[in-house]
């Protein structure tokens, strides 16, 4: 039973990640960039610069007091901290007076499954905080861009950094969705191939269906939430000059959602193809059984007649009766075979 989080001031991390809590400070402005690592906020205080944008990465949620120290310094409310520590929290974007909160899922693919982990972003005037459950190099490219001052990123405000991070998230989604789409196309080719030695089973389709569900659960909520940033990109936290970059994030999201819809349709089509192949295979088996039964029914009939052992049967005393019976049976088999061949049933 879930506890009422409004009845306790105790912060609890409900996840299972063993990553120890540690902080990475990146302070930058037009003149340069500096980086520091620490285990708690107090160790970073001497390196904070009011004339620079402060970006702090927090990896690992085991030490909840370290997270509380960071959030209290930037005046993040208690409920937001609880949401950050909840790894199963739904995707959302919230706007507060002094900061914006984005909670979403990062996806990593190991080739057979998609592994989600929560990332929370708190963006305010002159600072940005990212909270990630496990150690990851996901944001390393952004560090590289800051060092090289790509697109004059160091000359811009924290909301531009927020748009860059969201674009990186969308790029990872596109990569994973493209991999899923390619896998489904390969599966379709195998199902439609005339070579029946490598026919995928329903378990292969189910594997892709499970991946699709995980991806959809992580991405689909952003469809409604991203609009909150687009409609308010004209204030102290989100500047109108950077609205173009948030529109770009939305464009990438729409592409991901459209591709996701295509994957859903393809999975449904693959299930139908698999069932159709199964029906054809069963029809082929039934056709073969029917042919065999049709051949042996008249033979069984003849064997039954000559096996009744009546005393007065004309063929019993006939010298060529045995050979006649065999000849009649072979002729019947040949007639039935050529009849099926003519009808193209075999």
**Residue 320, pLDDT score:** 76
Cβ–Cβ under 8 Å, residues 108 and 135: no
| Residue 284 CB contacts under 8 Å (≥ 6 apart), including other chains | none
pLDDT-based confidence at 100, cuts 50/70/90?
Answer: very high
pLDDT band of 164, cuts 50, 70, 90? very high
Which pLDDT band holds residue 311 (cuts at 50, 70, 90)? low
Lowest mean pLDDT among 36-45, 103-112, 261-270: 103-112
The whole-angstrom distance between residue 79's C-alpha and the CA centroid of its chain comes to 29
Q: Label residue 102 by pLDDT band (50, 70, 90).
A: very high
pLDDT of 14 higher than 60: yes
Confidence category of residue 174, pLDDT binned at 50, 70, 90 = very high
Does the pLDDT value for residue 1 go beyond 90?
no
Local structure of 201: helix, strand or coil: coil
pLDDT at 3: 58
Overall average pLDDT of the 91-101 stretch: 91
Task: Give the model's pLDDT for residue 101.
Answer: 95
Considering the chain, what percentage of its residues have pLDDT values greater than 90?
44
* Contacts of 164 by beta carbon, 8 Å cutoff, 6+ apart: 142, 145, 153, 245
Tell me the average pLDDT across 306-320: 71
Residue 288 scores a pLDDT above 70 = yes
Check residue 312 and report its DSSP letter.
-
Percent of the chain scoring above 70 in pLDDT: 93
Q: Which pLDDT does position 312 carry in this prediction?
A: 66
Res 224: pLDDT? 83
CB 91 within 8 A of CB 104: yes
Q: Contact 140/131 with Cβ under 8 angstroms?
A: no
Lowest mean pLDDT, pick from 65-74, 129-138, 209-218, 272-281 = 272-281
Enumerate long-range contacts of 143-146, CB under 8 Å, 24 or more apart: 143/26, 143/35, 146/26, 146/28, 146/33
Least confident range from 50-59, 290-299, 308-317: namely 308-317
Which band of pLDDT confidence, cut at 50, 70 and 90, is reported for residue 68? very high
Q: What is the mean pLDDT of residues 154-173?
A: 93
Between 289 and 134, whose confidence is greater?
Answer: 134
Structure-model confidence comparison of residues 329 and 305, the more confident one: 329
Segment 169-183 shows an average pLDDT of 91
Radius of gyration of the chain, Cα coordinates, nearest whole angstrom: 35
pLDDT in the model for residue 233: 54
Residues 297-325, mean pLDDT to the nearest whole number:
75
């Amino acid at each position: 039973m879930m506890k009422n989080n409004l009845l306790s001031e105790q912060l609890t991390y409900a996840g299972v990640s063993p990553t120890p809590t540690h902080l990475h400070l990146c302070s930058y402005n037009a003149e340069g960039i500096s980086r520091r690592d620490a285990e708690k906020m107090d160790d970073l205080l001497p390196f904070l610069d009011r004339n620079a944008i402060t970006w702090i990465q927090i990896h690992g949620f085991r030490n909840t007091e370290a997270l509380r120290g960071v959030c209290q310094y930037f005046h993040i409310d208690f409920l937001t901290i609880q949401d950050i520590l909840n790894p199963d929290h739904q995707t959302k974007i919230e706007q507060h007076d002094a900061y914006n909160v984005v909670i979403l899922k990062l996806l990593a693919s190991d080739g057979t499954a998609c592994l989600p982990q929560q990332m929370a972003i708190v963006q305010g005037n002159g600072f940005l905080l990212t909270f990630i459950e496990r150690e990851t190099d996901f944001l390393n490219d952004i560090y590289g861009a800051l060092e090289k001052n790509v697109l004059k990123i160091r000359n811009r405000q924290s909301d531009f950094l927020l748009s860059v991070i969201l674009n990186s998230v969308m790029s990872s989604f596109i990569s994973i969705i493209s991999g899923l789409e390619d896998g489904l196309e390969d599966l379709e080719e195998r199902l439609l191939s005339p070579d029946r030695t490598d026919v995928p089973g329903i378990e292969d389709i189910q594997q892709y269906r499970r991946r699709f569900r995980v991806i959809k659960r992580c991405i689909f909520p952003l469809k409604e939430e991203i609009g909150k940033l687009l409609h308010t990109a004209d204030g102290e936290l989100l500047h109108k000059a950077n609205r173009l970059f948030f529109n770009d994030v939305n464009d990438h999201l729409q592409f991901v959602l459209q591709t996701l819809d295509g994957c859903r349709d393809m999975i449904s089509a693959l299930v139908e193809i698999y069932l159709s192949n199964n029906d054809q295979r069963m029809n082929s088996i039934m056709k073969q059984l029917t042919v065999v039964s049709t051949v042996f029914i008249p033979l069984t009939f003849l064997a039954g007649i000559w096996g009744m052992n009546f005393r007065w049967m004309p063929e019993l005393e006939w010298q060529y009766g045995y050979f006649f019976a065999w000849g009649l049976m072979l002729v019947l088999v040949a007639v039935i075979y050529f009849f099926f061949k003519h009808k193209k049933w075999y």
